[in-house]
Structure 1
Amino acid sequence: MIDLANVAVLVEAVGAGSLAAAARRLRITPMLASRRLAELEEEVGARLMHRTTRSLSLTAEGEAFLPHAQALLEAEVQARAAVRPAASGLSGTLRLTASVPFGRKVVAPLVPAFLQDHPALQVDLLLSDSIVDIVAQGLDLAIRIALLRENTLVARRLADNPRGLYAAPAYLAEHGAPATPADLARHRCLVLTGTSHWTFLAGARTVRQRVSGPFTASSVEALHEACLGGLGIAMLSEWDVREEVAVGHLLPVRMPAAAPEALAIWAVYPTARLVPPKVRLFIAALEQRLRQA
C-alpha cells in the first residue's frame, strides 16, 4: 500500500525543486522528507528521483508516476471534503497576504460578511506591496496580481486584472495624451521604484517602452495619489480607479493600437496538499466578489 504522506513529499519536491523546500512546505524535517521519499521508492519498486547535493530531477519512472501521484493527493482532498462539508465548523486563523490597495479595496471588505458566516474563525491580513514568502511567514494564502512566473508555489487563476493608463484632467489639458507607447518618452510617468519599462501589446507584438518621471514610489497607492494630484500618467488596475473615473477625477488614456500587458489575479498556496476548507471558502467568496465587480 502506498502511503500518501510519502507521495506528498514527491509532489512537493518536484514543485519546490528540492527536498529541503518540500520539507518546509509540509512542515517536516529534511531528514524525514528524505526518508519518506526513499520509502515511496521502495513501495513502488522504482527509483523516482535523481538526487545530488545540488540538484533534484525525476527519473523516467518518476515522470510516469508523477501524474498518478498528483491524482492520489487530489482524490484524498475530495474524499475528505465529501465526509466533512467545507462550511461546517470553520475555526482557527486564516492568515493571508495581499498588496496594500487590493487588500484595502477588495479583500478587507469581504471579511465582515465572511466572519459573520464563520464566527469561530479569525482572519489575519498582511498587507504588503512586496512579495511575501508565504512558506517562511506561515501564511495560508497569498493574493497576487501578476503574470506569475514563480513555479515553486501552487497557484490558481481567479480572474483577469485589466489595467490602463490614467491621468488627471489637469495633466492632460497641459501636456496632451500619448497616442502610442513611444509617446510616453515625452511624458511624466509615475512608476514603481526600480521600474524602467512598461509593457504593451500591439496586435501580436509585445512592446517594452522605457518610462520615467519626477516621482517613483514603492507603493501603488502613492502613485495613485500622485496621479490624482496631476503629477503625471500612471498604469493602474481598473478596480483601483473605478470611483475616480466615475466622477471625472481621473481620465483613461487609451491608445488606438496598443494596450497595457494583461495581468491576472491569482490565489497562491504554499502547497497543493490538503488545502484547508477555510482557504477554499475564502477564495470562493473572493471569486464571487470579483465576478460582481
Structure 2
Amino acid sequence: MDIDSISVFVEATRAGSLAGAARELGLVPMAASRRLAALEGELGVRLVHRTTRALALTAEGEAFLPYAEAMIEDATNARAAVRPSGPCVAGLLRVTASEPFGRKVVSAMLPAFLAANPDLRVDLLLTDTVVDIVAAGVDVAIRIAPLRDSSLVARRLADSPRHLYASPAYLKFAGTPSRLADLERHQCLLLSGATHWAFAAGDRTRRVRVTGRYASNSIEALHEACLRGLGLALLSEWNVAADVASGRLVPVPLEGAEPEALGIWAVYPSARLVPPKARLFVEALARQLDRGGE
C-alpha cells in the first residue's frame, strides 16, 4: 500500500474533511481525493462517506484506521532510525508513570519536549499500580523501584533517595523515633497490603514490620495524610522537597539505618525495538532529572 495514500486517509479522519487533509499535506484537494480513491480501490472497500465539506468513516474505515495510523508511525520511525539527525519525531507516544512523578516531574518537562517535537502526541497514563506495558501498548514506563522483571529492557536514569517524613504536629504529639525499634509504637502510613519497610543497615537489609491505622494504594494519598499529621510516611526526596523547604514536613533519620535505595528507571517492552520517539523522551527526562527535576 502507498504510504502517501494512507497519509491522506489518516489526515482526513483527523481534520474531518478531505480539504483539511489536503491543506495539512500540502496537496490540492483533487490530488487528495484521488489518493484516497486509489487506497479504497486497492483495499476493495469504501473507507469514508465523503462530501466536499465533511466525511464520516464507514465500518470498514473504522476497522482500518488504527492499522493505518500504525503504518504512518512505523514509516516515520523507520526514517528517523536511519536519519537520527532529522528534525523531529512524529506519532503517538504512550508513557506511564506514578501519579506524583508524572504530575511533578514528567509534566514539568512535557511543554519543552512537545515544543521541540511538534508532530508528536503524548498519552500519559498516571497510576500507582504496575501496568503491563506490553498488553497496554505502552512505549516507555517510568518506574521507581528495585527492578525485578528480567523480561523487560530498562535504563536507570537516576537515584531516587527516600526518607521517613512526618509533620511537625505529628512529631509533637507522638515523639520522634530515633531507632528502627521505635517504629513499632508509631503510626506508619502504608501502601495497601504492605506490612514491612525495608532498610539498609550496614551491609545488610532489614525488613521491619510496621503498622498503622491508615493505608492507601496511592502515594499521593499517603503524602497528604502525612501532611495532615496522621503518621510517618516513606517518601521520595523529589516528591517532598517543597514541603520540607516550607517546614510542612520534617525528615526523620534513624540511627544506623536508611530506607532501601530505589532507582528511577525507564522501562521498555522487550518485544520490539525502542522507537526514536521513546529514546528522545527518555533523554529529555534524563536531562530534567540531572537538573534536579526543576
* Residue 183 (str. 1) matches residue 177 (str. 2): no
Partner of 2:280: 281
Report the Cα offset of residue 159 of structure 1: 0.6
**Helix, strand or coil: the match of 2:133?**
coil
1:30-69 alignment, distance < 5 Å: none
- Alpha-carbon distance change, 95 to 229 in structure 1, aligned in 2, over 3 angstroms: same
| Aligned AA (1:252) | P
- Structure 1 residue runs of 5 or longer lacking an equivalent are 1-78
Superposed CA offset, 1:12-33 (max 9, x none): xxxxxxxxxxxxxxxxxxxxxx
Counterpart-to-counterpart distance in 2, 1:250 and 1:87: 46
Report the Cα offset of residue 180 of structure 1: 1.3
Report the Cα offset of residue 88 of structure 1: 2.6
Contact 2:151 2:270 in 1 (8 A): no
Contact 1:154 1:272 in 2 (8 A): no
* Residue 144 (str. 1) matches residue 143 (str. 2): yes
1:111-190 alignment, distance < 5 Å: 111-190=110-189
Counterpart-to-counterpart distance in 2, 1:146 and 1:281: 23
Superposed CA offset, 1:241-263 (max 9, x none): 00000010000000121000000
Superposed CA offset, 1:196-247 (max 9, x none): 0000011112111111111000100000000000010000000000000001
Runs of 4+ with >4 A deviation: 79-82
Partner of 2:200: 201
Partner of 1:248: 247
Contact 1:134 1:270 in 2 (8 A): yes
Give the TM-score taking structure 2 as reference length: 0.71
Counterpart-to-counterpart distance in 2, 1:115 and 1:257: 45
- Structure 2 residue runs of 5 or longer lacking an equivalent are 1-77
- Alpha-carbon distance change, 80 to 274 in structure 1, aligned in 2, over 3 angstroms: farther
| Aligned AA (2:106) | V
| Aligned AA (1:154) | V
The answer to which of 87-96 and 130-139 deviates more is 87-96
Partner of 2:232: 233
Report the Cα offset of residue 80 of structure 1: 8.0
Percent of aligned positions with the same letter in both sequences? 62
Rg (Cα) greater in structure? 2
Contact 2:180 2:255 in 1 (8 A): no
**Helix, strand or coil: the match of 1:136?**
helix
Partner of 1:216: 215
